Structure 1
């Protein structure tokens, strides 16, 4: 079981031009870490700087949220890219966010890949190493799925001297192999308040969750991902924060 404070992280800055996604203004006060889209699955320079400024105002850590170059698919489609191409694309995205951060006297503090890139790195060591290679250029930690982390992942990260942050999900169910249940499976996304809060409490208090296929899965998490794209989930984020504060006591 993870020791110490479990932080909350949330994907943010995912609007694009006139298209709005989420309610960052309402969510930001209740999270510890903002995973800010870098323009390849969502966001643009104006949205990025707005989100950076909002994070600063709320004393929230800023993380780069790079993806495959897939605006049309919101980064949820796997693309055929060489490891070298992935490394260069991730460096480009982190560099863009870092430049905007430095323009307001702050910086990126960690990296969490988005969508298909996140899922692919957990099952393909060449993709994981390509991302680790990119992240190592900035001396930042990489956030990854706690339940699928292997000794091979740890060895690769150690070789590049990249610290790791282990993540669990509040509103996604798991399979017994530690992977997130695919979104097309019934029950893959939790939408019931009690179910979500119970999963958060299981992770924080007992270091485990019940999987979609009925197993008990151990989770050692540093951080829990929450989503805030509607009014109901914003209210829930407040309750998740409260539940974690109680657990710390």
Structure 2
């Protein structure tokens, strides 16, 4: 039996601005990456999303970003390793309080957008953030979005880490991702094919037709894809024919 996690970025609405389809998507995933209030989210949305995840027995994770709501955390900032570490600890603390108030706890950490890119490009920034996470809670799991980050995480003594794959984005041959400016509906059958290939073989077809290694124990599905629910339903239907079980990160690592 192969066990794999399905994670999704959530809680990214704030004020009168709405993002994603959290209530529709939550029943189909096993881990939720909830915005910590910097790139998106607000206290009310954080509380509601934590409660929704707990209601569906979904693992709760913080999705920390740079302090840039105007740019949705996707714009580069000049931040030192220590500053980045403190941004993550701050957001982790905020979401942890809502989780504790709900009788739940935080399972994992998955940085967002430009913050993730900074960690991928700078081992010093990545180490600072990971060491900060360990100081807060050594049981937390780091969800690594690419191999550069995963390799750093493996060097941090005591840090639990899971490598993440993508099926609703296309990989280049070098395992970087092609991210389109505008979200569009995707072929659910194609996405389900990718899911099964990664879950069973740890491999997927890149944009140039080459088969590449993606040794993932967690797969991300973007909840703001127009037909995200249909994609998730198709994945659930597809894996019934295979020896694959969906499970939260805490039961895998």
User: TM-score, with normalisation over the residues of structure 2?
Assistant: 0.88
- Cα distance in 1 for partners of 2:226, 2:208 equals 30
Q: 1:167 corresponds to which residue? A: 164
Return 66-75 or 202-211, whichever deviates more.
202-211
> How large is the RMSD of aligned CA atoms in angstroms?
2.1
Correspondence for 2:26 among 12, 25, 28:
28
Q: What SS is found at the alignment partner of 2:6? A: strand
User: TM-score, with normalisation over the residues of structure 1?
Assistant: 0.89
The alpha-carbon distance between structure 1 residues 13 and 181, as it changes in their structure 2 partners (threshold 3 A), is same
How far does the alpha carbon of each residue in 1:141-174 deviate from its partner, in whole angstroms, 9 at most, with x for none? Answer: 100125445644421x23xx21101100111111
Q: How many aligned positions are there?
A: 242
> What stretches of structure 2 of length at least 5 have no aligned partner?
245-253
Q: 1:233 corresponds to which residue? A: 228
- Verify the 8 A CA contact 2:26 2:56 in the aligned structure 1: yes
Instruction: Name segments (4+ residues, structure 1) moved above 3 Å.
Output: 146-153
- Cα distance in 1 for partners of 2:62, 2:174 equals 27
- Cα distance in 2 for partners of 1:230, 1:177 equals 24
Q: 1:178 corresponds to which residue? A: 175
Q: Does residue 210 in structure 1 map to residue 213 in structure 2? A: no
How far does the alpha carbon of each residue in 1:110-133 deviate from its partner, in whole angstroms, 9 at most, with x for none? Answer: 101111212321232112112202
> What stretches of structure 1 of length at least 5 have no aligned partner?
none
- Verify the 8 A CA contact 1:75 1:117 in the aligned structure 2: yes
Q: CA deviation at 1:246?
A: 3.2
Q: CA deviation at 1:4?
A: 2.9
